[in-house]
Structures are given as C-alpha cells and as structure tokens.
Structure 1
Amino acid sequence: MTGRGVEATRVGGRWRVTRPWPAQLRPFVHSYAGYWEAAASPYRVRLVPTGRAVVVISLGEPFAQIRRLGDTGPSSLVTGSLVTGLEDGPRTCDHPGGQEAIRLELTPLGAFRLFAVPMSELTNTVVELRDVLGPAAGELVERLAATGDWGARFDLLDAELSARLERGPSPAPEVGHAWRLLSRAGGAIPVGRIAAEVGWSQGHLVRRFTEQIGLTPKTSARVLRFHRAVGLLTREGANLAEVTAACGFYDQAHLNREFRALSGTTPGLMAAARVAEGALAL
C-alpha cells in the first residue's frame, strides 16, 4: 500500500483504506474507501436506507446473496461489482469471506450524472455495475484488480469517475435545490413548501424529483429523517426523547414505527449495534 495520502485503519476484521478524493468529485461523493479482510470469514450485514446510492467494485470475492428484508422471491443475482439506487427499506447481504473491494457512496444527483439513467429505474434494486456503465466498467474493474497499489487504484478510479461525471447529464436546478432543502432540514420540511420554494407545482416536483433522485420527496424526507435519527442515537449519551423531538417525529411510537419500516429493527437495538456506512452487523 503506497501513494500520497493513503491511510489504512482496522475496522473489526477488515482494513479500511482511504485517501482524500479530488475536488471535482466532492460535490458528488459522500464516502470513498477500499476494504480488504485481514482474515477471510463469512459474514452477514443488514443495509438500511441512507439517502445515497452505492457502488461496490469487487476486487476479490463478491457478495453471495443480496435480499430485501421480507422478500420471499429469489435473491438478487449479482456476481461481481454492483450498483444500488436509493432504498426505502432494509436489505441483507451475505458474503462468503475474502472481500477486497472499493465502496462509493454517491449523492443521488451525483449518481444521476454518473449513471446517466433515470434514478427511478434503480430504486430498491441491485444491479451489476456493467449493466449501468457498460462494458468499460468490466475493463476498469480488471485494471483495478490487477493493481496491488491502493494509491494507483485510487488514481485510476478518480480519473474514470471525473471523466464520466464531466460528460454526464445535468440534473434540473430545481431538483438540486429541492434536494438541498430536504437534506439541510433532515427531511423535516413539507413538500408543499419545497414546491413553492423552487417555483413548481407539487405534482411536477414529485415527477421530476422522483425521476432524478429515485424516491419521491415524501419518501426521501422519511429516509433522511431516519438517517439523521440513526446518527444521533449512535452518539454516546443519546436520549430517545430528545432524538424524537429533534428529528420531527410525532412521538416515540412514531419513531419506533419508522425504524421498524425502514430498518426492520428498533431504535434501541440500532443504537446498541455497530453501524458503519449504512451497514448493521448481524
């Protein structure tokens, strides 16, 4: 592992490798890290909604099974690197061990530019990276896997991401403004107020926002409010009543219902668990 600015930290049984990403990527990327397992062992995680799209570039073993919690049909058939759009419910992922990967969390509008497809087509789905970015994605993964130096890997990926984002479609300024309003408020802002702020009818806002973000404004607000609550609850000394009020839930019963719907667990169990980048260790 070499390269200027590359750092590695131990996270449980894995190593997490990071480097500050370039300025041109910062408006579009929430997190960007490489991982590899110190000792290969199977594991299962539950992924909860974060209001972000995710790309996992598998350089070793891929996930063995990916399933929406409660689904009785077949699990997602992803055999390599993957893309997930925004989600409004939990998903479980099983890995056989031996993971080596690069994981990106993208803003919804960053994902819209990068993938160049309506984000509504990726909502609550997991698809192969090449199915979204084309055959060149497979070539990039092969080059990354053949490069053992993490600094060089990040250089390759930075260049590819920057080029794709540069030529990707630009979201509507009104959708961008609506997303910023929602994000800054942690979801605690009425959709009607957002529509008035951007100068669109509520119906037009819902249509364009859903196309470019992937979730409706109302569902996005639920996810962002939940995500904020998770962050507050995992802080030391968190108080459930204070979190309920701060995040705009009607009462603790409302908070409990939302946690059950969006994560399949309770606020107390979520607060006690190790949650990293939307993943709850099981």
Structure 2
Amino acid sequence: MEVAIPQPSERLPGIAMAGFGQRVPAPLDIAMVAHPSVTLLVDLNGGEGLVYDAHGRRERGSAVVGLLPGDLRIGSRTTEAGQCLQIRLSPVVAAAVLGAADELVGEVVPLDAVWGRDAGRTEDRLCAATSWDERFAIAADILCRRLEAAPPLDPEIAAAWSRIRAGRGQVRVDGLADEVGWSRKRLWSRFRSRIGLTPKRAAQLVRFDHAARLLAAGEPAARVAAVSGYTDQSHLHREVKAFTGATPTAVARAPWLAIDDVAWPASLAGLPRPCSTFSARDHSHRVGA
C-alpha cells in the first residue's frame, strides 16, 4: 500500500486528505473504525476499484461515510491496483460542504446522493489528474468553493464542537451551554439537528477516538483508560465494544488505525507513535509499505 499526503496547510481547517494506492493488484478488506469525522471515499478507478460492505449490502464506487457507520468494511478488486482519495470532514464542515451531517449518522451512501450532480464531474477531474499533488489541489479548490458558498453555521455549535475536540472528549458537557452562551436545551437541540449527535454522544466518540489511537500505539489498556477519562478498564472495554464490536486488544491491531501513523499525522499530535507496519519516505510527501 502506498500513501500520499498533502503538504500542511491552514487553507481548509477541519478538512484532512490522504491518497491511497495499491502498488500491485491484491485483495484488500479492512474494517473501518469509528472516527469523529464524516469521510468521503473517492474511487479513482472509474467506480470499479473501491468496494464497501455496510449494513449487509455490497456497493462499488465513491461513498460518503457518516458518523458512527457501524460494521463497515472497505475493500478493492483483485484484478487491478486501485487508488482512492480519502477526505475527512469535521461534522461542522460536513454540515456546510454537504448541506447535512445529521442525516448521515450511521449511514454509508453513494457520493452523488449528497454531493449532487457535480459528483461525476469531480470524480472525472480527480481520475484524470496525473499526480497526487494535482488531485489534492483539485479537491482543495472544490471544497473551498463549496465552503464559501455555504450559509454560515451557528458559531455556538462550532465552538461547542471545537471545545469537545480540544478536550479529547473529556469535557463537562453540561457546562458547554454556559461556555457558548446558550441554554442547555437550545444547544442540545441545535447541535443534534446540525451534527447528528448530542454533545454527550459526540464527546463519547471523540474520547473513544483518542483511546483507540493510544491502544494502536501500544499503550496498555489500563493506562489508556486512566488517561482517556474512563472510570476503569472495564468501562473502556464496554465503550470500545459499543463503538466497534471488538475488544480493546483487537482494536489495537486494527489495520485502519495502523495506517494513521502516516496518513493523518496531525491527528496524532501529542500521542505516542504507533507501531505501524507502514514506513515513511522523505520525498514528495509520499509514504508507502
């Protein structure tokens, strides 16, 4: 697997991208781990490279993965080396770029179902690009224009989400309303209507994400529970099981998390470096294994 990442940029806060390509045709079947973002998976093989299996149905082509997608597996065909552009949108950004984030919770839908008629043209432009640099530039330009054209989101909702993320889910959610200057009822209602989760559930997801990455980095479950804000190791076990259906030990070995070491370095700031099977090369901001 080869992974490409764009140069660091502050042009699009709340958006991260990575390109994935198989060097040789090979079976690929990876279970996705819940993450506090809405994910766009853009198939760069004309709708024939990416395969996803969710809710008992098997689909091909580009897709949008909402928060808490459940039992989702991502794969590719074995007859050709596939390529895929993955774009992570914070729920706040997703609400603007896609026009909705709440309707996507627990769902995996084709890209054109939420992107509209521009989905095909976007895919064609990305497929025709001859380098990852060009693809990242195309995607950044399109996302920037969609953000600029979108109506602004309530700053109180954005501030509440930012506070939850900054605290790695360890926040007093009852105090969020006071921090943003809204009543608790108003914040809960507006937050859920735009993000799709209550502030409490959003904090649980962010806390789980932090814990999962510590587990993937090789940290003992007991320590992960202590530093991530869980009551004890049993509490961590229950939460991990609820989000993934797997044990903390299994999540620690998840290939989806192992690749984060190189694909999403910004999300790992301040965390131990995972013991990944992927190695980095210092040229053209491309990494591979």
**TM category, shorter:** 0.7 to 0.9
Equivalent residue number for residue 202 of structure 2: 220
Q: 1:32 to 1:123 in 2, by over 3 A?
A: same
SS in 2 for 1:24: coil
**One-letter identity of the residue aligned with 1:52:** S
**Quick one: structure 1 residues 84 and 116, their matched pair in 2 at CA, closer, same or farther if it must change by over 3 Å?**
same
Give the alignment of 1:105-184 within 5 angstroms.
Answer: 105-117=88-100, 119-184=101-166
Partner SS, residue 51 of structure 1:
coil
Verify: 1:245 aligned to 2:221, yes or no: no
Structure 2 counterpart SS, 1:148: coil
1:264 to partner: Cα distance: 1.4
Q: Pairwise mapping of residues 8-47 of structure 1 onto structure 2 (< 5 A)?
A: 14-20=1-7, 22-25=9-12, 27-29=13-15, 31-47=16-32
Is 1:63 paired with 2:50?
yes
Q: One-letter code of the match for 1:116? A: G
Quote the Cα distance in structure 2 between the aligned partners of 1:163 and 1:67: 31
* C-alpha deviation, 1:227, in angstroms: 0.6
How far has the Cα of 1:155 moved from its partner? 2.4
1:265 equivalent to 2:265? Answer: no
What SS class does the counterpart of residue 217 from structure 2 fall into?
coil
The structure-2 alpha-carbon separation of the partners of 1:150 and 1:243, relative to structure 1 and needing over 3 Å to count, comes to closer
Shift of 1:89: 3.8
- Asked whether the 8 Å contact 1:46–1:92 carries over to 2, the reply is yes
> Per the alignment, in what secondary structure is the counterpart of residue 229 of structure 2?
coil
Q: Does 1:53 align with 2:38?
A: yes
Segments of 4+ moved more than 4 angstroms:
none
State the alpha-carbon separation in 1 of the partners of residues 34 and 185 from structure 2: 25
How high is the TM-score relative to the length of structure 2? Answer: 0.82
The equivalences for 1:193-232 within 5 A come to 193-232=175-214
TM-aligned CA deviation for residue 90 of structure 1: 4.2
Change in Cα spacing, 1:200 to 1:88, as seen in structure 2 (3 Å) is farther
Pick closer, same or farther for the CA change 1:129–1:226 going to 2, 3 Å.
same
CA distance in structure 2 between the partners assigned to 1:194 and 1:126 by the alignment: 30
Q: State the SS of the aligned residue for 1:44.
A: strand
| C-alpha separation in 2, matches of 1:266 and 1:56 | 26
Deviations 1:114-167 (A, max 9, x none): 1122x1111111111112121112111112212223322222222111111111
Aligned equivalents of 1:228 and 1:22: distance in 2?
23
Task: Please tell me whether the aligned partners of residues 49 and 263 of structure 1 are also in contact (alpha carbons under 8 angstroms).
Answer: yes
Cα separation, partners in 2 of 1:16 and 1:134, compared to 1, 3 Å: same
Count of aligned residue pairs for this structure pair? 258
User: Deviations for 1:226-246, whole angstroms, at most 9, x for unmatched residues?
Assistant: 11111222224x232221111
- Cα displacement string for residues 168-200 of structure 1 (whole angstroms, at most 9, x for unaligned residues): 121111111111111111112232111221222
Matched, 1:191 2:177: no
RMSD: 2.3
Measured against aligned partners, the alpha-carbon deviations of 1:81-103 in whole angstroms (never above 9, x if no partner) come to 11112116442234324321111
Query: Could you tell me the percent identity over the aligned residues?
Result: 32
* Match for residue 76 of structure 2 among 64, 83, 95: 95
Contact 1:16 1:35 in 2 (8 A): yes
CA distance in 1, matches of 2:69, 2:230: 17
Amino acid at match of 2:222: A
* Counterparts in 2 of 1:88 and 1:176: CA distance versus 1, 3 Å: same
